[in-house]
């Protein structure tokens, strides 16, 4: 079980690092993943980029395997790199948001950011080791004020009250925000009234860190879309 979950985490860290390279080169991560996925030795599962990996199993089991290695006196650099890459990737995403949303002083202090999705994946209300919350904490460390909407959540755990404010709709979360950041791949987000969201945002920025939205649809709503591992030209 440890080995299986480590390998899945490895594939996700690989995809996220590859997505960053695609952005630098003007390539499309979807094309690259589709290409390598045709190789039956690789397949396309667990190669979609996102805001990092998390959940109830992958973080727990990768760290448990790391402890087994340490206790056994076995060096496993690839395992450490998989974990470190996940954290570094999340910091890189936060840097992207900060670059586009910083206030007059060049920081995120007092800047409101709207988050769409808090659970670690769609179809669950589970927040355990959610990458969305990891990104939220990094944004909060930089002083951002966070509002959020998640279709599966009607209230927050008490320990998250100081982190963000939960709202009942996506437009409510967008009220006065400098950007909207998609962190969970809920299919409901594709069908949102994006004109209503745009009307509540203080700036027309949407960071789609799950690559689930249609850039053309957001463009019609007057919004600027940025995906992950996708050419910026798609947003224009």
Residue 99 tokens, joined: 């670059």
List the beta bridge partners of residue 205: 224
* Dihedral of the alpha carbons of 53, 188, 213, 221, in degrees to the nearest 10: -140
Please give the Cα distance from 44 to 50 (Å, whole number): 15
Measured CA to CA in angstroms, residue 19 lies from 7, 47, 231, 236 at distances of 18, 10, 10, 19
**Which entry of 22, 57, 101, 180 is annotated as an active-site residue?**
57
For the question of residue 22 being annotated catalytic, the response is: no
Contact 201, 174 (CB under 8 A): yes
Residue 108 tokens, joined: 């995120």
**What is the DSSP secondary structure assignment for residue 189, as one 8-state letter?**
G
Residue 175 CA, distance from chain mean position = 21
136 contacts: CB under 8 Å, gap ≥ 6: 115, 118, 146, 148, 163, 164, 183
Active site amino acids: 57
């Amino acid at each position: 079980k440890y080995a299986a979950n480590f390998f899945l985490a490895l594939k996700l860290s690989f995809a996220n690092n590859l997505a960053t390279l695609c952005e630098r080169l003007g390539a499309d991560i979807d094309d690259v993943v589709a290409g390598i996925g045709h190789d039956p030795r690789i397949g396309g599962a667990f190669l979609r980029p996102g805001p990092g990996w998390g959940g109830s199993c992958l973080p727990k089991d990768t760290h448990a395997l790391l402890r087994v290695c340490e206790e056994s006196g076995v060096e496993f650099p690839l395992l450490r790199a998989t974990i470190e890459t996940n954290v570094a990737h999340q910091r890189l995403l936060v840097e992207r948001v900060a670059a586009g949303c910083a206030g007059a002083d060049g920081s995120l202090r007092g800047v409101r950011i709207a988050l769409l999705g808090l659970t670690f994946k769609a179809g669950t209300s589970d927040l355990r080791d959610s990458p969305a919350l990891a990104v939220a904490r990094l944004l909060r460390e930089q002083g951002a004020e966070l509002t959020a909407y998640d279709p599966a959540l009607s209230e927050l755990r008490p320990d998250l009250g100081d982190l963000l404010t939960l709202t009942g709709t996506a437009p409510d979360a967008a009220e006065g925000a400098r950007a909207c950041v998609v962190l969970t791949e809920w299919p409901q987000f594709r069908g949102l009234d994006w004109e209503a969201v745009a009307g509540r945002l203080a700036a027309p920025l949407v960071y789609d860190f799950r690559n689930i939205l249609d850039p053309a649809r957001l463009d019609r709503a007057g919004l600027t879309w940025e995906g992950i591992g996708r050419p910026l030209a798609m947003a224009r």
